[in-house]
Structure 1
């Protein structure tokens, strides 16, 4: 009896083999259709995600979803992941090779934007993708995944190119991760899940936790800095892994910065309130996820026993040390910002390094300074692959308000024991075969310009040859050109052994569905 994972992955494998034969025009048409549908549903899914998980802010989730749909496609508008690349100077021709089947995980803290981002990254590079949503956000994620799958198929994508797991369990996820039909795992979530992905024996792109330190020196604009700090920490109630964790402020500017932050919605906790907050957030030995993560600042304060104005956007907790024995210096995933006053540059940089050594190595950091040398020294000092200067860390490190690649999967590289250090994107889901000529070769490789790729390989001549993806029958490439619509009355029946070129896309989808149904009936002994 074949397992659920094997059936889903077999279908995805077959779809990926067909999809990799699409030209750029057909691929772009699918990408644009899916991006537009996702963009139009951003508000609805933002509301659904907050309602289902209890995390975050609707307005901010909509912004992330819009940025991860049309915004993502616009960013990569001039990137070609389909056609050969010809480097005339280096005498190298590069041929794109899609990964195949992407197994993707989505966290409850950032569900819809992650679904949008990963699906579109897969489609741009002609990969199939299978999604496993976190149980806390399964309903909204699976609905979005299936909606976008329908849109992709209507736009011409192969049936099964986007799929979702109905009821993910740890054993089932482990089977998906370890299957030889899985080409790469795109893991966004807790460290346990990321480590499992890396231990699966399959290629994995995983990320680590954040814990961003923000150094503020005495050369910048205090009002702007205050606004950036509060806007960043309150963004989606501090739930992004790129969110600020500790503001490390020069003593010479601390008093003025505090006044400016209070003007824009920050509440600085008193000594006894800090103790209450610490106990509420970490009293059980770990972060109080249900009571803290992604919740509004006034609600956290109320449940901790602290009275704050209703206009409060973030809670600020002054601390005297940074390290494992001060829980408030750890990642908090909430609108709670730790505050440390440093004597000057040396102590500020030392404490920033200590913050990332404890949690968040390789992730993100920020600095507010008008001195380029200070910015350069800080970026060299801290073990972070993103250092955001003079703007909001949360949005900036994700590429939402900077020119970094927009992403919902932030690599932590060597420092964070991750396979990738930059912002993960579609470029990580395609590799390139390189044709290299001798340095002194006289051949003019401009003859490669405009050449179209011809594909062959393990493609079933038709789904009726057997379960998609299994070896049987003759082999043929997918159609090279788009088919004109065929009316139901003129549609020919798909027969066994006929080449793919003789089938319409609708015929293929119907045949795949019939095959899967037959396979399920056989497994049930019907």
Structure 2
């Protein structure tokens, strides 16, 4: 059992009362953090990243033990990518300092979202906690993390660890909170509350749709079903290696994993041989049928096989496969909705079909995306620029990875796309986000625009400093004297009661709450 901490939101009250306590504290932290300057934000983010990176292996092992999903070493790599890798990717970005455009006579002021409500999945639990928390800190937002129940304990511990690091580096109390006992009523209350500024929804379709229906801004994702075209111009050996490595990465638990391999017939035999050399087992027709029946009983994907190894799935189907098998390749003929293998598979089972020409492959890939996965991603292995362009323009997706494994290619870790754990599916996939989630999506810019007439002066804003720099430690969250403190130490509460400035801040917050209630 995870022990309570000052950053863990307890749920021993009603959902409404709990949501009230969580959001009030988060709003306070967001308002305080919005005044931090770039140097202070950088210090906090750097400290949190260092702690997250140091615990990457610890939480990788914990996540696999708690959920039963994935591969420890691969989760460790994802945790590093979503901490140190994320900081490195945005090391030259500034989401805090006002921007000047003297020629256009415009000043741009960064405006953080405020309170971020982050829903994290069981498939990529701690890497999602890392990713969303660091994005929120980079942009001066507070964050409330609601973990998936199946990955609750590792996520709670990880969030509390990051929160302690942030506060130690000078961040406001409550800038990172985590819900210890997530429930549907509590989550619905948090999502619908006007104090929630934006919802980052990563998870099942029902949960994402609930976020969109909440009435608050939501950045969600859609399902994947990645088609991969290999044409006759591809480097077949390299393509086979990349595909097997990608499909087997973390036992295919990333939504960007390859779903169906569409191969130009002229190179099918060569590719099959190379896939075998890389650790793929090509299923015979009777073996394929047994795998299909096991993974898709009643034609629906069985969640018991999410993130399980190829050996585990083969054994469940009553098959014996060569030692060291990384993925199971299941050949089939027609890409139609009635074929279960043409649907998304969050496990190392890869559909395989052949086509006469690359153009036929493009048509087949479009058929796959009509079943599911529109807006998400696709991949192609080809050395013909014309084919790559034709494939890319005809796929209803927002990411096309070329000559790279799609699991980490479309996620931005093996390409120069924005590194992310949240893949927006845009107009095609009925999502509000059509690109990889990144810090820029959690900050908007107010623009001061002067008269364009050359005779109207534009002042020198270069000497102004906005926001004000923070000096010294940030005071703790102000609590009333009769509040149990949600686990805060007594000396912290005593300091709260003795600080006149904090009492004034608390009175202001209460006044604003009463004003909002009267308006509603």
Out of 370, 387, 409, the residue aligned to residue 357 of structure 1 is: 370
Corresponding residue for residue 237 of structure 2: 223
In 2: Cα distance, 1:256 partner to 1:314 partner: 17
| Residue segments in structure 1 that go unaligned for 5+ positions in a row | 456-460, 468-487, 516-526
1:242 and 1:395 in contact (8 A); partners too:
yes
Out of 380-389 and 87-96, give the one that drifted further.
87-96
List per-residue Cα deviations over 1:45-70 (Å, max 9, x = no partner). Answer: 00000010010011111111101001
SS of 1:3's equivalent?
helix
In 1: Cα distance, 2:456 partner to 2:145 partner: 46
In 1: Cα distance, 2:466 partner to 2:47 partner: 24
In 1: Cα distance, 2:427 partner to 2:105 partner: 32
TM-score by length of 1: 0.87
1:142 and 1:166 in contact (8 A); partners too:
yes
Corresponding residue for residue 237 of structure 1: 251
List per-residue Cα deviations over 1:114-143 (Å, max 9, x = no partner). Answer: 000000000000000000100110000010
Corresponding residue for residue 373 of structure 1: 386
Out of 193-202 and 355-364, give the one that drifted further.
355-364
Q: Show the 5 A alignment for 1:132-281.
A: 132-281=146-295
In 2: Cα distance, 1:218 partner to 1:184 partner: 46
In 2: Cα distance, 1:262 partner to 1:449 partner: 62
Residue 334 (str. 1) matches residue 347 (str. 2):
yes
1:121 and 1:425 in contact (8 A); partners too:
yes
RMSD: 2.3
SS of 2:466's equivalent?
coil
SS of 2:307's equivalent?
coil
Corresponding residue for residue 4 of structure 2: none
Residue 107 (str. 1) matches residue 109 (str. 2):
no
Corresponding residue for residue 401 of structure 2: 388
In 2: Cα distance, 1:318 partner to 1:428 partner: 41
In 2: Cα distance, 1:184 partner to 1:104 partner: 9
SS of 1:374's equivalent?
helix
Corresponding residue for residue 442 of structure 2: 429
User: Residue 168 and residue 493 in structure 1: after superposition, are their counterparts in 2 closer, same or farther (change >3 A)?
Assistant: closer
In 1: Cα distance, 2:100 partner to 2:234 partner: 46
In 1: Cα distance, 2:262 partner to 2:89 partner: 33
Question: C-alpha displacement at 1:355, in angstroms?
Answer: 1.0
Question: C-alpha displacement at 1:284, in angstroms?
Answer: 3.0
In 1: Cα distance, 2:115 partner to 2:80 partner: 25
Out of 299, 319, 328, the residue aligned to residue 306 of structure 1 is: 319
Corresponding residue for residue 407 of structure 1: 420
| Residue segments in structure 2 that go unaligned for 5+ positions in a row | 1-13, 469-474, 482-490, 510-520
In 2: Cα distance, 1:371 partner to 1:352 partner: 17
Corresponding residue for residue 518 of structure 2: none
